[in-house]
Amino acid sequence: MNVYDSEQISKGLKLLQYKMTLSPEMADLIIVNTCAIREKAEQKVFSFLGRLARLKRKKPDLILGVGGCVAQQEGLNMLERVPYLDLVFGTHAISRLPGMIERIEAKKCRIVDVEMPEGIDESVFSVDTDDRDRVTSFVTIMQGCDNYCTYCVVPFVRGREASRSPEKIVGEIRSLVESGIKEVTLLGQNVNSFGKKEGLCSFPELLSLINEIDGLLRIRFTTSHPKDLSDDLIYAFKNLDKLCSHIHLPVQSGSDRVLKRMNRKYSRDYYLAKVDKLRNICPEIAITSDFIVGFPGETEDDFNETIDLINTLQYDDIFAFKYSDRPNVPSALFRHKISEQEKKDRLIELLKSQEYYTKKRNEVLVGSTQPILVEGLSKRQLKTEENSENIQWTGRTSTNKIVNFIPNNDTSFHGGNFSGRIINVRIEKALSHSLQGDTNL
């Protein structure tokens, strides 16, 4: 979501004739887009701002702004804490950013804008038709969240849940496809509840509309809340040919006691039944998840239930984090906090447990042929200047696994641009978090 917001910020600044620089030292304007979901992310913001102080002293006319969730959360406090900061703007102020920059340029003033009006501001969502190098793009379909999990700051910094109109979403995606985009990832804090408050179409119905867009090759989405995962959405993985075979389904804990304290509104058995149905309807589906370790009051037995859940479901991959108190959330007041060392130990054990299954799921694909949407040159290739005959490309499977490959000399596309094409690649090797293959089928 922050990547998408950064793209919208960049588009707004282009209207003022700003363009991207290669380094902060070259910049006339620096915007720091922030995340407040974990304490460590927030700490990094102030650490980075501290490093910019010297640059601001050397270039007094440099405009320095902070946006995103930390800006929304801290507001005026940020200007007081960082005296050389010119601008603080919240998660709902992106469309107002160009006007704020113009005021600062003209009057050398300092501005804070953290207003969060209800509803959707459609002026934020625009398509940059000048950026034709990308193959994939994010598309926000809704903002905010109404779930109020006891550990989560999102409702306080992103606001209440609000969905965009299906027509606007489809229109944006059509424009993206016309500019060369082949794959979209739909974004929402809980896409499964899309349209319910406003009486719009359901999320599976929205997926069906997007599936009909000519020229679009693939559809992805994130994130799904398990409590709202409907049968219609599960069957969409079978019935919609452009919908990728991957779902990110955060569970957070394998313990019913902890899930209740988190206010997740589902049980372990409920979650297991949803995963079982997903795999029955779409056997090839890849399932990933989120976990929090060290939630206040999490006992050793609770943690062992989480490890058992990982062993039972054998996810394709997970994201896991140590619990940290966040401002305004109920769990910050919960008793029986877990020590930092214990949280660290549990996180290491959990990640080690999952590492085996991630590699195992990758190894199953060795020897198979996978259709890959090529996104461009691989990261390794971008860092080297290898012979053009051995150029390495990268893309993803429908199940969201990264595949790096060097085209075989006999391929009809040799010497051309693979970006945006779906090509068949035979998987030759499985690594911890990626695959290697070739086109010599």
- pLDDT tens digits for range 209-231: 999 999 999 999 999 999 999 99
Q: Is the pLDDT of residue 18 over 60?
A: yes
Cα torsion 183, 188, 190, 191 to 10°: value is -40
> Do residues 354 and 433 touch, judged by C-beta distance below 8 A?
no
| E strands present in 37-148 | 63-68, 87-89, 111-113, 136-140, 142-143
Domains 2-113 and 252-364 alike in fold: no
Amino acid at 108: K
CATH architecture of 2-113: 3-Layer(aba) Sandwich (3.40)
Query: Per residue in 377-417, pLDDT tens?
Result: 987 776 665 555 678 899 999 999 999 998 876 545 545 67
Residue matched to tokens 């793009």: 137
pLDDT for the residue 118: 84
Q: Which of 108-122, 172-186, 275-289 has the lowest mean pLDDT?
A: 108-122
pLDDT for the residue 124: 76
pLDDT for the residue 409: 61
pLDDT for the residue 195: 96
pLDDT band at 434 (very low <50, low <70, confident <90, very high): very high
Tallying the residues shown for the chain, one arrives at 441
CA dist 405 and 395 (Å) reads 9
CA dist 378 and 394 (Å) reads 5
Read off the pLDDT of each residue in 13-17 and give the average, rounded to a whole number.
93
pLDDT for the residue 100: 97
Question: Do the bridges between strand 246-248 and strand 218-222 make them parallel or antiparallel, or are there none, so unpaired?
Answer: unpaired
CA dist 157 and 203 (Å) reads 24
Instruction: Return the closest-CA partner of residue 233 out of 209, 202, 210.
Output: 202
Read off the pLDDT of each residue in 55-59 and give the average, rounded to a whole number.
95
pLDDT for the residue 383: 65
DSSP letters spanning 180-248: T--EEEEE-TTGGGTTTTTT---HHHHHHHHHT-TT--EEEEE---GGG--HHHHHHHHH-TTB-SEEE
> Do residues 204 and 186 touch, judged by C-beta distance below 8 A?
no
Q: Which helix or strand (DSSP H or E) is residue 372 part of?
A: strand 369-377
Query: Per residue in 286-317, pLDDT tens?
Result: 999 999 999 999 999 999 999 999 999 999 99
Share of the chain above pLDDT 90, in %: 85
Q: Is the pLDDT of residue 198 over 50?
A: yes
Angle between helices 203-211 and 231-239 (to 10 degrees): 20
> Do residues 323 and 294 touch, judged by C-beta distance below 8 A?
yes
Count CB neighbours of 402 within 10 A. 18
pLDDT for the residue 414: 47
pLDDT for the residue 380: 77
pLDDT for the residue 131: 62
> Do residues 184 and 210 touch, judged by C-beta distance below 8 A?
yes
CA dist 215 and 217 (Å) reads 6
Residue spans per domain, the chain: 2-113, 118-244, 252-364, 369-438
CA dist 279 and 283 (Å) reads 5
CATH architecture of 252-364: 2-Layer Sandwich (3.30)
Intra-chain end-to-end CA distance of the chain, in Å: 38
pLDDT for the residue 356: 95
| Residue 282 or 385, more confident | 282
Instruction: Return the closest-CA partner of residue 193 out of 227, 220, 151.
Output: 227
Give phi and psi for 31, each to the nearest 5.
-110, 125
Q: Is the pLDDT of residue 149 over 80?
A: yes
Query: Per residue in 234-260, pLDDT tens?
Result: 999 999 999 999 999 999 999 999 999
Count CB neighbours of 365 within 10 A. 18
How far, in Å, are 91, 135, 142, 270 from residue 158 at the CA level?
Answer: 6, 28, 11, 28
pLDDT for the residue 83: 95
Mean pLDDT, the chain, as a whole number? 93
Question: Do the bridges between strand 393-396 and strand 402-406 make them parallel or antiparallel, or are there none, so unpaired?
Answer: antiparallel
CATH 3.40.50.970, applies to 118-244 = no
